[in-house]
């Protein structure tokens, strides 16, 4: 086996709290090949975003690390572009300028002014936002903002595109439009993508591989599911496809049977707070369930083999 493109190498994450260390991730280990579309799915608070932030370099793992093309990553950088959940456009910059700030930073000295201008337009064209170049983010809809956020990330020509619940804040219809757009773009560019999601349909429709995470604290990978569906995929035609439904069923049963979320009523991943009895019970329960899952997840070995 070749050395993997991106290796999340036995990452453990502890957050310091007043009552001692809080273990958010425990020995998370997987690999991503070039051009692969990976989704990470799991309940709120299971540490999905923590994984993404560690890959992005915005957080530093307590143990383990990230290896991209045989080089350990050290802090954030434009080769790992991030699409944030709430678009994160500068509200004072126009659509064009929001993409331009990234392009000017990444291609300074590599492209001429004219080439940069064309590259900005090309990327905005890719997400169908070339009609609103001079609009401010406050003047366009949520879906449009997210399109610009994606254009900004794509314009950096990243080795890995990281997306943190990119469509989580959008309504269902806009979300499915965005998913179609993303599939089109992916077909053209064949990027390596890691996407965080809590939407089962989105994960199955878009991904080559779904990484399902067990509940935190001390979350790790519960199961890895390869999605072997031909592309281009069409959500309407897939609706009655037995393989597609099997995959959906697989993810749903992982999320709602084996990892039924006992914390669902509680607040999100705030590590500060002291473990309550219920949470301690959850830890034990989760340990048991992980044991079950390891037997069911032979694919986890591929990561360790590297």
Partner 1 sequence: MALLSIPFTQQGSKINFQESFKQLMIPLSAMMLFLFAWELSASQIKTSLGLVPGPIEVSKQFGNLITEHAEERTKADAFYERQEKRNAKKLAKNPNAKVKIRNYTGKPTFFDQILTSLVTVFTGFLIATIIAVPIGIISGLSQNFYTAINPIIQIFKPISPLAWLPIVTIIVSAVYVSNDPTFSKSFIISALTVTLCCMWPTLINTAVGVASVDKDLINVSKVLQLSSFTKVWKIVLPSAIPMIFTGLRLSIGIGWMVLIAAEMLAQNPGLGKFVWDEFQNGSSNSLGRIMVAVLAIGIIGFVLDYLMLTLQRFISWDKTAVLR
Per CB under 8 A, residues contacting partner 1 are 56-58, 75-78, 80-82, 84, 86, 88, 90-93, 101-102, 105-106, 136, 138, 156
Cα 266 to Cα 273: distance, rounded to the nearest angstrom: 11
Asked whether the beta carbons of 221 and 213 are under 8 A apart, the reply is yes
Cα 272 to Cα 186: distance, rounded to the nearest angstrom: 39
Residue 86 CB, nearest distance to partner 1 (Å)?
Answer: 6
CB of 107 or CB of 244, closer to partner 1: 107
Q: Report phi then psi at 22, rounded to 5.
A: -110, 120
Residue 145 CB, nearest distance to partner 1 (Å)?
Answer: 12
Residue 120 CB, nearest distance to partner 1 (Å)?
Answer: 14
CB of 139 or CB of 171, closer to partner 1: 139
Q: CA separation (Å) from 117 to 108, 124, 127, 132, 199?
A: 12, 11, 16, 15, 36
CB of 47 or CB of 222, closer to partner 1: 47
Asked whether the beta carbons of 82 and 155 are under 8 A apart, the reply is no
CB of 156 or CB of 178, closer to partner 1: 156
CB of 106 or CB of 225, closer to partner 1: 106
CB of 91 or CB of 298, closer to partner 1: 91
Cα 179 to Cα 163: distance, rounded to the nearest angstrom: 12
What strands lie across the sheet with 6-17, from one edge to the other?
A: 20-32, 6-17, 63-68, 71-72
Q: Which of 226, 204, 188 is nearest to 33 (CA)?
A: 226
Residue 302 CB, nearest distance to partner 1 (Å)?
Answer: 29
Residue 84 CB, nearest distance to partner 1 (Å)?
Answer: 5
CB of 46 or CB of 156, closer to partner 1: 156
Residue 85 CB, nearest distance to partner 1 (Å)?
Answer: 8
Cα 197 to Cα 48: distance, rounded to the nearest angstrom: 8
Specify burial of residue 134 (Cβ count, 10 A radius: 0-12, 13-18, 19+): exposed
Residue 144 CB, nearest distance to partner 1 (Å)?
Answer: 17
Residue 189 CB, nearest distance to partner 1 (Å)?
Answer: 19
Helix (H) or strand (E) holding 248: helix 242-253
Asked whether the beta carbons of 223 and 30 are under 8 A apart, the reply is no
CB of 82 or CB of 150, closer to partner 1: 82
């Amino acid at each position: 086996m070749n050395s993997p493109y991106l290796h999340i190498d036995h990452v453990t994450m502890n957050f310091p709290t007043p009552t001692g260390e809080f273990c958010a991730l425990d020995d998370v280990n997987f690999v991503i090949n070039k051009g692969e579309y990976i989704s990470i799915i799991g309940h709120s608070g299971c540490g999905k975003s923590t994984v993404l932030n560690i890959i992005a370099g915005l957080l530093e793992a307590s143990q383990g690390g990230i290896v991209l093309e045989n080089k350990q990553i050290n802090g954030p950088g434009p080769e790992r572009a991030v699409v944030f959940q709430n678009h994160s456009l500068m509200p004072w910059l126009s659509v064009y300028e929001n993409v331009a700030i990234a392009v000017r930073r990444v291609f300074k000295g590599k492209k001429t002014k004219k080439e940069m201008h064309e590259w900005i337009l090309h990327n905005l064209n890719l997400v169908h936002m070339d009609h609103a170049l001079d609009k401010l983010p406050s003047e366009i809809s949520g879906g449009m903002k997210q399109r610009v956020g994606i254009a900004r990330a794509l314009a950096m020509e990243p080795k890995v595109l990281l997306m943190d619940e990119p469509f989580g804040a959008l309504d269902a219809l806009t979300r499915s439009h965005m998913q179609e757009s993303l599939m089109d773009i992916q077909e053209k560019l064949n990027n390596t993508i890691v996407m965080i999601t809590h939407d089962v349909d989105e994960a199955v429709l878009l991904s080559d591989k779904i990484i399902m995470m067990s509940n935190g604290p001390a979350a790790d990978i519960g199961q890895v599911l390869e999605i072997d569906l031909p592309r281009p995929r069409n959500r309407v035609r897939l609706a009655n496809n037995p393989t597609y439904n099997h995959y959906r069923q697989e993810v749903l049963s992982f999320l709602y049977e084996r990892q039924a979320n006992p914390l669902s009523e509680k607040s999100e991943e705030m590590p500060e707070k002291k473990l309550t009895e219920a949470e301690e019970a959850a830890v034990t329960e989760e340990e048991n369930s992980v044991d079950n899952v390891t037997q069911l997840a032979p694919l986890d070995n591929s990561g360790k083999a590297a």
